Amino acid sequence: MEESTIAALPDAPVNLRELEEALEVEGAHEIAAGFLDDIASIPDRLTNSLRSSDKDGVRSAAHLLRGCCLIIFARKTAELASNMEKLSIAGNFDECDQLLPDLLDSLNETIDCLENYLDES
């Protein structure tokens, strides 16, 4: 069993140490790569669903993103996705529009963190 050598960084978008402790290093790499594949279409899905006021589309994309983020310990992005999901269920598209840039910025930070993690492995 390979142990994590990653320091705990409280401000990192993904808690890589916790991810490696939960899944071991090889499993963490597999989940990180899978996350990047699974969420590739989500930014466009969210944006397009918001443009067309598609309540179910926004909710579905935000729900998927939240679940994916929880699996990799990307708590900030998961929380923002959860907020987007709740707002969409209530039909608050103006608030969803306001939240979208923060959510996408957080998601991009998460993606960058995972890509760097995989590149350094």
pLDDT tens for residues 22-74?
Answer: 999 999 999 999 999 999 999 999 999 999 999 999 999 999 999 999 999 99
The pLDDT of residue 10: 59
Task: Please check whether residue 16 lies inside any domain of the structure.
Answer: no
Task: Please check whether residue 81 lies inside any domain of the structure.
Answer: yes
Q: pLDDT category, 11, cuts 50, 70, 90?
A: confident
Mean pLDDT (the chain, rounded) = 92
The pLDDT of residue 120: 86
Domain around 103: 41-120
Overall pTM surpassing 0.75 (yes/no): yes
Task: Please check whether residue 111 lies inside any domain of the structure.
Answer: yes
Task: Please check whether residue 33 lies inside any domain of the structure.
Answer: no
Q: Which amino acid is at 105?
A: D
Task: Please check whether residue 76 lies inside any domain of the structure.
Answer: yes
29 burial class (0-12, 13-18, 19+ CB within 10 angstroms)? Answer: middle
Task: Please check whether residue 35 lies inside any domain of the structure.
Answer: no
Q: Does 2 score more than 70 pLDDT?
A: no
Task: Please check whether residue 31 lies inside any domain of the structure.
Answer: no
Q: Does 14 score more than 60 pLDDT?
A: yes
Task: Please check whether residue 30 lies inside any domain of the structure.
Answer: no
Helices of type H across the chain: 16-38, 42-51, 55-71, 75-89, 93-120
Number of domains in the chain: 1
Which of 2-11, 13-22, 68-77, 82-91 shows the lowest mean pLDDT across its residues? 2-11
Q: Does 5 score more than 60 pLDDT?
A: no
3 state DSSP class of 4:
coil
